[in-house]
A and B are shown apart, each in its own frame.
Chain A
């Protein structure tokens, strides 16, 4: 099959790889019809995740057609069109049984801190991902879902990660009626977090980023108040100032380890690789949120350490929450929201690339060219 492969920081190409096989009775093989490049794939593309091996295939946002199922898979059959949540989860371990599908203990041998994710390095289990023609899907009797009536393929694709993750962030922010929510990052997750914050009852939603075209989009899609932080002398003082010097009730870091905005953090995280990327969004979130407020880490950080304002967290009495989104927990409610027109996930798609041109897709997305918000990858065999 043809599959995207990682060749080193900032380099990817499409190669022939052996077709995936059934390796466990609960496996399925899916022919990918659409995949997306996620903002967290950029952390991989930049080489920031540990144990990222040359030849690995990325892609944790994909939908497709069931090609083959293992003998224990009884809820899917060949030809079913499915969306595959990005968490690889068994459904029965200590954590899955409690609904924490992002923390499954049975699918990632390489680490206990992180759950398993398709195409997300060996730190997340060493599974090849969906930016390929075919992909192996473990525990297919639990993870994938048939795409329900009324949900388009593009919407289904965005429901595998970006949309539920933004929705999850808004839930973790513990929004009370009328609360002010500040979101760092106007990428897909930040955009969906802004939309979701209103559903949770927010009174004010503010989004900051350094890209005007993304801020312009979220100002209409959320809707939201937006401010490009590069115009601000001191973003933290500004966010205090516009919230009566209290600070927002909740702050969501929808950026993660690939942030901009601090030369010091970039030097340590990107140039010297002395910490897991640049944690400036988390610094700003902790320092700008009001005392007793809630900070949400939803942008991806790698497992190695980061310089982190622990003193402010303690002195301000903050609640800090973070977790991979357990997609299956969110899907029933999100299907309703999509059908009722309250969230339209596919509206954020701006670009489509054939699989063979995936290097161009990564470049356009990473360098924020051509006003790109969300690129979708279409394998050649998608229509086969």
Chain B
């Protein structure tokens, strides 16, 4: 049998050129020893891991197991329809109120597998925020957005030169608006 003519027009024993595999200049290697086994604590949990096996053996075969005492609701508690009944304990923060509360009532009629459930809750959260703006004013505790958002902290962290530019731009906008109002009034008086 004739010797195989390995390289031809159709194939070759030479691999195509490899792409560059060098590290990016921003890639930083921490103080890692050449032999990674020298890293402090290396391998101490190679075979000793608290989550193995993931599930521990158990003979409890019902969802709730044995429950002796049940918390009694003092206000409306929403309960997923995927639960067999109300859980033995539950949180009592912020009972549902107002329009957002009614929206939450509606959402909890649907299972956790439905967009109707989750998106109604997301929307109710926004309605709840609007409600709180009004109830805050009525109760004498109005929202204080600059303090609640810590604008001062944010502003202090901005680079001083940028802060000056930002404040100058703000002053220019306020000045332009004020000038516009004055001119508009002056022109309307002329008419």
Contact = CB atoms under 8 A, between A and B. Distances in A.
| Residue from B24, B77, B148 with most neighbouring chain A CB atoms (10 Å) | B148
B51 A55 contact: no
B24 A238 contact: yes
Interface stretch (A98-106, A145-153, A376-384): A98-106
Interface stretch (B5-13, B149-157, B168-176, B182-190): B149-157
B30 A112 contact: no
A313 B115 CA distance: 23
B64 A105 contact: yes
Contacts of A25: 69
B41 A198 contact: yes
Contacts of A94: 58, 60-65
Chain A interface size range: 35 or more
Contact of A359 (B55, B112, B148): B148
B118 interface: yes
| Residue from A53, A88, A204 with most neighbouring chain B CB atoms (10 Å) | A53
Contacts of A26: 69, 89
A342 interface: yes
Nearest to B33: A223
A50 B122 contact: yes
A interface, by DSSP: helix, strand, loop or mixed? loop
Interface in B103-138: 104, 107-108, 112, 115, 118-119, 121-122, 124-125, 128-129, 131-132
Nearest to B100: A53
B96 to A, nearest CB: 8
A218 B28 CA distance: 11
A330 B65 contact: no
Interface in A85-104: 88, 90, 92-94, 96-100
A139 interface: yes
Interface string A122-144: 11011110000000001100000
A111 B39 CA distance: 42
Contacts of B161: none
Interface string B18-58: 01110110111111100010011111111011111011111
A13 B144 contact: yes
Contacts of A223: 30-32, 39
A292 interface: no
Contact of A201 (B42, B60, B61, B153): B42
Contacts of A227: 24, 26-28
Given A198-B41, A363-B150, A24 B88 contact: yes
Interface in A201-222: 201-204, 215-216, 218-220, 222
A17 B150 CA distance: 22
18 contacts: A8-B132, A106-B65, A106-B88, A107-B90, A109-B77, A109-B86, A111-B112, A125-B90, A126-B91, A139-B89, A171-B50, A177-B46, A198-B39, A224-B32, A225-B32, A273-B122, A302-B118, A359-B153
- Across the A-B interface, give the 10 residue pairs with the lowest CB-CB distance, nearest first: A126-B91, A223-B30, A127-B91, A363-B150, A219-B30, A11-B148, A342-B41, A53-B94, A201-B46, A97-B58
